Amino acid sequence: MYLMINGYREVFATFDEPLNEFKSVAVTRVLHDFYEMDTKLGFYGGGGIDARLGVPPMGFALGNVPAGAPRWGKDYKNWLESYSRTMILASHATSLPVETNSISLDADLKDAWGLPALCMTYKDHRDDLSTTRFLRDRSLDIADAAKATKVWAAPVEQQSFAVHLLGTCRMGNDPKTSVVDANHRTHDVPNLFLCDGSSFVTSGRGQPTMTIQALAFRAGHQIAAAARRGEI
């Protein structure tokens, strides 16, 4: 329960001059203005906007053609040649913990070893979609202010793909409503510690990696201390 995946949408912007955004280390989270947004907007949420091009040429050609961009012929060739002149404004937004969003075992589908396949049940909260739409529109404003010659905006719709899987084994004091305690130790199995993004009770407002690392280091210290006390 309470699976969260972060809202995410991209705006592609092409310019007259080379940007070479693909070189060196990809910059992440360059705009923090909307981490806490005014609830008078009519929805709860927040997030940040990255400005980068974090895909290699082949990925750009095959996997990152935005909606509305050409996909065949001369126009597609011209699109590919714009690689060095293109950047992506990517918005990362909140994903509210919804009880019905979950990972389970499929009742019918089996994997190559005959084991039940994973089944992901997920639907964005309406506030998540509103937050993502707001950040997408601000990305369009940035591209316009930067005088991009061409802009492609991904539509805001229910997500079916994600790379930030959070929640489902949430942290808490009550075994009835949580899976791990404050030290990442599972309530039911004392020798089992879960030190990944599954312990999150909220999604945060963007890239969760650093928070996961910090919690894992803290859990490591707690595990070592428990071992010295002979508790595990």
Give the model confidence (pLDDT) of 126-156 as tens digits. 999 999 999 999 999 999 999 999 998 878 9
With cut-offs at 50, 70 and 90, classify the pLDDT of residue 64.
low
Confidence at residue 172, expressed as pLDDT on a 0 to 100 scale: 96
184 counts as catalytic: no
**Phi and psi at residue 180, in whole multiples of 5°?**
-120, 155
Confidence at residue 60, expressed as pLDDT on a 0 to 100 scale: 83
Nearest 5 degrees, angle CA 211-CA 213-CA 217?
A: 120
The rounded mean pLDDT for the chain is: 90
Catalytic annotation, pick one of 32, 92, 125, 164? 164
Predicted model pTM = 0.86
> Which of 181, 190, 197, 195 lies closest to 227 in space, CA to CA?
190
**Phi and psi at residue 88, in whole multiples of 5°?**
-120, 130
Distance CA(83)–CA(89), nearest Å, equals 15
Paired strand residues for 90: 10, 50
Give the number of C-alpha atoms closer than 13 A to the C-alpha of residue 114, restricted to the C-beta side. Answer: 0
Distance CA(232)–CA(215), nearest Å, equals 19
pLDDT at residue 65 is higher than 70: no
Q: Are 136 and 9 in contact (CB under 8 A)?
A: yes
Distance CA(223)–CA(96), nearest Å, equals 30
pLDDT at residue 197 is higher than 90: yes
